Structure formats: C-alpha cells, structure tokens
Chains A and B, each alone.
Chain A
C-alpha cells in the first residue's frame, strides 16, 4: 500500500470514530438533559428527593437502633443466664443425692436453651447490617444522580410538616423516638411523665 492510501484510510477511520463519538456524546447529553428535566419537574420538594435526603438516612438510623437494642437485651439475658449457670454449678457440687443432681441438670439444660435462643441477635443483626449496606449504597447512588442533574442536596428543603399532619401521625403512634430528628420534645424518663401528669392530678 502507498503511504498516501494509508493516510487517507487512517483519516477516514478517524472521521468515522469522531462521528460515532459525537453521536454517543449527544445521546449521553440527551439522557442527562432528560434526567435533569425530570428531576426539575419534580421540584426540589419532590418525594424522590425528600426520600433520598431524609427518608433513607432515617431508615438506616432506625435499623441501627434495632441492632443496638436487641444486642443490649441479648447481652443482659446472656449475663443472667451465665450467673444462673454458675449458681447451679455450685449447687451441683454440693448436691448429695442423684435425684437432686438430675433436677439441677434439667435446670441447666433449660438455661442453656435460653442462651442458645439469644443467637437470634447475631442472625438478625447480620441480616439488618446487609440491609443497611444496601440502603446506604442506594442512597449514595441517588445522591450522585441528583447532583449530576444539577440539583444541590442543600437546596432540598426539610420535609414540610403541618401541625395537623404531625398530630395525625402522633395519634396513630410513632413508636420509639430513635432518630435524632424525632427526639425533639420527648420525655426522658418516667419522672418527666409523672411531673407532666402530676399537675393534672393523675
């Protein structure tokens, strides 16, 4: 092949690639524009934006509360079970007849059952941790998407909550106040409850 032919062919190839690249670029730009328009249409208080900024972190915080609470409870149960086992062992070493020993052994195996049942915390904790990971990564992906569409996360307002809506929710019952945002205006102890009701004669 002549050198000139080679140059022509090379140029033709570059042109083809450039055309294809610019088509691709156009398409990507189109997709980005569509996404931006769609998110824009939602408005900065849209459900998706709200859920990404507030709903998902809130869900994660609640799941972490579940793990923490079940862990504390399981640990308490395990400590108590261990103490009982120690007591039963002392009792066993002092037992004089077989009937007593059999009785103690039965009690020990029941305590073991209690201890074994606490393994639920490990199992459920692992499952919840996986869900937390998934929710967190979903949250990050959505954040990136929102960012790329030109909306700043700081521009998404806090959820607008009317007094009526808040009251309706409270009357349904909202469960334990485990997230930072839900811990406003909450009593801290039974004493607080008693003080509040004491004035009303209850």
Chain B
C-alpha cells in the first residue's frame, strides 16, 4: 500500500531528544512534514486546527498525558478519525488495554527500533484505508 509521505505529522513528547529521534526516524521512512509539541496541553490546540493527518505521542507528560490527548481527539467529531500512535515507556498490560479502549491505533514501547515504527505505521494506514473503503461501500 502506498502511504502519503506528504502528510502532516505531529510529534508530541516532553523530551526534545526523543522528538528529534522520532523525527529522524520518520524522515528515514520518507516523511517530511512535521510539527512538534512538548506536552498534550500544547498539542491539543495545534490538533484542533485540523492540520494533522497523523499524531505520534508519548504517554507520560507533565501537563496533559498522551492518553488524555487521545481521549480529547476521539471525543471530537471533526478529529476523531485521526490516526494516533503512542510511543511510550508505559508498559503495564492494564495501560495498553486502557489505550486500546480509548481508541489508539498503534502502541510502541520504548526503547524501540526504526523497523518497529515502520511496521506500525504501515499497519495503521492499511487499517485507515480499510475503514475508508468500508465507509464508502
């Protein structure tokens, strides 16, 4: 499947080194349009602009967590379809299930590899495609 490499991606993490790493990995995968936010609370107004086709977020952030950000996105009629990937050190089964319940599209536990990120992104957009087809059919 061909993924649109021109999509706008928002990378949310409170550690700038991790944002840098994620951006570099996404660049290696052929993506080029990124914005950054250092917390859920700064990401949310950015997302509300409707600009982003894909959100990659950390969980544990000081003001608004990634899971809360996900819930905000899913509760908004205009934004709720936005693919949302959590990349996080949070590794409790109960947390992963909670994220699934909140509507996460993918979940990667840190530390992770470029290959894992690639596979997850492929999978997420395959499913987005399937959803679109199902909605159109």
A: residues with CB less than 8 A from B are 167, 170-177, 185-187, 189-190, 193, 196-197, 200, 202
Contact = CB atoms under 8 A, between A and B. Distances in A.
A65 to B, nearest CB: 11
A197 B107 contact: yes
Given A186-B93, A193-B96, A197-B96, A173 B61 contact: yes
| B contact residues, range | 20 to 34
B89 A176 contact: yes
B67 A173 contact: yes
B116 A190 contact: yes
A172 B65 contact: yes
A186 B107 CA distance: 14
Nearest to A69: B111
A171 B65 contact: yes
Given A190-B116, A196-B96, A197-B100, A173 B90 contact: yes
Contact of A202 (B61, B92, B106): B106
A173 B65 contact: yes
Contacts of A170: 90, 92, 94-95, 98
Nearest to B94: A170
Given A187-B93, A193-B96, A197-B100, A173 B66 contact: yes
Nearest to B110: A176
Contacts of B94: 167, 170, 185
B104 interface: yes
Where chain B touches its partner, the secondary structure class is mixed
Contacts of B90: 170, 173-175
A113 B5 CA distance: 33
Given A171-B67, A173-B60, A173-B61, A193 B92 contact: no
Contact of B107 (A171, A176, A193): A193
Contacts of B91: 176-177, 186-187, 193
Given A173-B65, A173-B66, A187-B109, 14 more contacts: A170-B90, A170-B92, A170-B98, A171-B65, A171-B67, A173-B88, A174-B60, A177-B92, A185-B92, A185-B93, A189-B109, A196-B96, A196-B97, A196-B100
Nearest to A175: B60
Nearest to B60: A173
Nearest to A188: B91
Interface string B81-92: 000000011111
A190 B112 contact: yes
B36 interface: no
B100 A200 contact: yes
A202 B93 contact: no
Contacts of A187: 91-93, 96, 109
Contacts of A167: 94
